Chains A and B, each alone.
Chain A
C-alpha cells in the first residue's frame, strides 16, 4: 500500500521519554479550558463537526442524488446553475458526492483508528506492565503484523467476507494495531517505574486496578493525540484500497476514490479530482490540529507559554 500512514510512526508526545507524573484525571475542567483557549484546535473541531454533520445530514443538505447522473452535464465546472461545485465525469453533482462521500471517508478514518487504538492500547499496556516473556511475545507478534502487506490482508478478508467498507475497516485496523501497540508500550514503560505506581503496589493494589486507575490515564493522552493524527491519514489509506478495487463498492465513493477516479481527467476537468483532494486536505489538517490541541490540553508539559 502506498500510504505513508500505514507505516507512520508515532507523534512527538508519544515516544518522548516519560517525564514527571502527569496531572491526575480530575482536572478535566482545566484541560477543557486550555483546549478552548487554543483557537486553532477549536477551529479544527468545528471543521470536523461540520464535516460529520454534512455527512450525516447529506440527504437533507444536497438538492441532488449523489448517484443520479445527467449525461448532458458531464464535467460541468463549478458555478454551473444548479450545481454549485459542478458535476463529475458521469454528470453527478459534486456537492452531493462530497457530502455523501464523507459518510464513508469519515467512517473509514475514525472506526479503524478507534478499534486499533483500543486493541493496541490493551496489548501495549499489558506488554509494558507485565514485562518479561509476555512482553517479548506481544512485541514479536506486533513485529509480525508490522511487516504485513495490507493488500493481501484486504484480499483475504474480502474473500472470507465480501469486499466493501467492512473489509476496508478490518484490514486497516489490523495494520494499525502494531503502531498503536508500540506506542502504548513505550508510554506504559515510562509510567510503571514512577514512584506513585510503586506506592500503589505497596499499598496492595491489584494489577487490574493499578492498570485502570493509574496507568491508563497517563497512557491515554499520547494515544488520543496519535489517533487523531491517524484519522486524517486513514482517509487516504482507504483511497488506496479503493484504488485497487478492495474498498467501497460503486457507485458509492469516498473522497479518496473520487480523487483516484477523477485524476484520469485532471486535464479536462480539474475540479473533479481537485475538490475531493482539497476536502481530504482540510479534514486531515483539522484532525492533526485537533490532535495538537488535545495534546497541549492534556499534557501540561507542553502547555502554552
Chain B
C-alpha cells in the first residue's frame, strides 16, 4: 500500500502507566539507540494480520520467514531471496512442490524452539481452515500467498513440504509482498496470548525483539542477543510516529530523532547543507501512477488516453518537485523488480502531439475531466502540476481530494463513469504485482483494477509469466505485457519516488535497499 498510508494505531500500555512513565520512570540513555521519525503510526504488529509498508518497517526487524529478501545490498535491481529460517529449498520440476530444510538451533524470542511443528502451526494459523489454530483474519491478509497452497506437510522435524495447486514461480516473492506476510510467529505466544494478543506480544526470531509499545507515541525494540545470524549492532530502535512533516524536520534538527522518512521535498537541500545525510534508492519497487477509467466516455478513446500520457512533463516533476529524489516513469513495471527496464519509454513529453490527438478525437478545447486523489498532506504539488500540464493541452481537470479511508474505498471500489482518473502509489518487488491492477478479473469488487482496464492478450501473458521458471524468459514476458499495457495507454505512470531518507551524521551503516522497508541490524549510532 502507499507509503503515505495514514493508519495510526495499536498499543500496549495500560491506562495509567503512560502518565506514570512520564513522571517517574526513565530509560537509561543507551549508546546505540536509533530513533526513527515516521509519518504514520504502524498497524498492529501481527505480521499475519496486518499490512502496509510502515508496519513491515517494524515487523521485518522482529519476524522472519522461511525465505527472506536480503535488504543489506543497495546496488541491486531487486533484493535477492536468501535463506532465513529455511537453510535451503527445492522446487520440484513441475513447479508445484516446495521442500524447505529448516535452520537448526533457532529459538523464538520467548525461548520456544523453531522447528517443523512451529512452521506447521503458522501455516495452520493463516491457511488451514480445518485446524483449531486457524485465524480467519490472518487468512484474509495472507490470501495472495495462501490461495496457491494445496497442502502443507511435515516431512521430518527439520523439513517441511508445501504443495501448490499450480506452479507459480513468483510465489515465494509474493509471500514477502502479500498484504499479510507468512512470517514465523512463536506458537507458544499465540497459545498464551490468543490470536488477537499477538498484536500486543509480537514474538518472532528476528535480530530485534519487542520491548514495548505506547500507542501513538513509540514502539521500542531491543537487540536479540541470541540471534542465529549476525547480531544487530544497535541496542535499541525506537519508532516514533510524527505525522507532521515540519515536526519531523524539527525533531531531526534538534536531535530528537536520528532518521526520518518522507522528508518534505523542498527541505531536503537545506538539511543536506546542514550536514544531514540523504539516502535514496533508484530501484524502490513502487511507482506512482494514474488509473485511467475505461468506463468514462472520454477515456474510452485511446487518443485521449495517449494525449494525457504525452501531456504530462514527468521530467519536470522529477526535477522541480522531487529535487532529484524522483525519476520519471514511463511503464507499469516497478523499478525494484527483475523485469524492470530502465530504458523503456512509452510516451515522451509532447504537448503539441497531445493537442493534435485531442483535436482528432474531437476534444480540441472542451474536455472536462474529474481527477480523484487522496489527502497526502504534501500540498498536492504533483497533482496540481498534472492539472496545469493538462490545462496546457486544453483539458480542464477538476481535482477531488478525499480523506484517506474515504479515498481507499473509492479507489478499491472502481471509478464510476463520471470520474476520468485517480491516483495511487504502489508496487511490489515481484512483477506479478501488475496482475493486481491490470487484469480483467482484477476489476472491482474482486480486485483493485480501479479503471476497469481489460485486455485479454495482457492477461494471457501474465498467466504465462508466473509459469516461467527461467528468469530471463520471465523478464521478457513481463516486458511484453508492459509494452501492451502502455500501447493501450491504460495507465499514466508518473514519477517514481526514490525513497529519500534523511539521517543524522551519527548514523552509520544504513542501507537503502530496493524495497520499501529496511534491515536495521546493520545500523549503528555513534
Contacts and interface: CB of A to CB of B under 8 A. Distances in A.
Given A163-B400, A263-B246, A268 B384 contact: no
Interface in A109-166: 155, 158-159, 162-163
A182 to B, nearest CB: 30
A265 B380 contact: no
Contacts of B266: 75, 89, 264-265, 268
A244 B270 contact: no
A77 B241 CA distance: 34
Contacts, number: 73
Interface in A89-108: 89-90
Contact of B384 (A245, A251, A264): A251
Given A89-B379, A264-B246, A245 B320 contact: no
A11 interface: no
B402 interface: yes
B336 interface: no
Residue of A74, A158, A246, A267 with highest tally of chain B CB at under 10 A? A267
A266 B245 CA distance: 12
A205 interface: no
What's the interface size class on B, roughly? 20 to 34
Contact of A246 (B245, B379, B398, B403): B403
B399 interface: yes
A250 to B, nearest CB: 4
Interface in A244-260: 244-246, 249-251
A197 interface: no
A155 B375 CA distance: 12
Contacts of B404: 245
Contact of A163 (B245, B270, B381, B401): B401
B380 A250 contact: yes
B387 interface: yes
Interface in B374-414: 374-375, 377, 379-381, 383-385, 387-388, 398-404, 406
Contact of A69 (B379, B388, B401, B402): B388
Contact of A265 (B267, B388, B402, B406): B267
A250 B388 CA distance: 11
B406 A250 contact: no
Contacts of B380: 250-251
A246 B400 CA distance: 10
Interface in B462-480: none
B506 to A, nearest CB: 22
Given A68-B388, A163-B402, 14 more contacts: A69-B384, A69-B385, A90-B381, A159-B406, A245-B377, A245-B401, A249-B400, A250-B383, A250-B399, A251-B380, A251-B387, A264-B246, A265-B267, A267-B267
Interface of A: 67-69, 71, 74-75, 89-90, 155, 158-159, 162-163, 244-246, 249-251, 261, 263-268
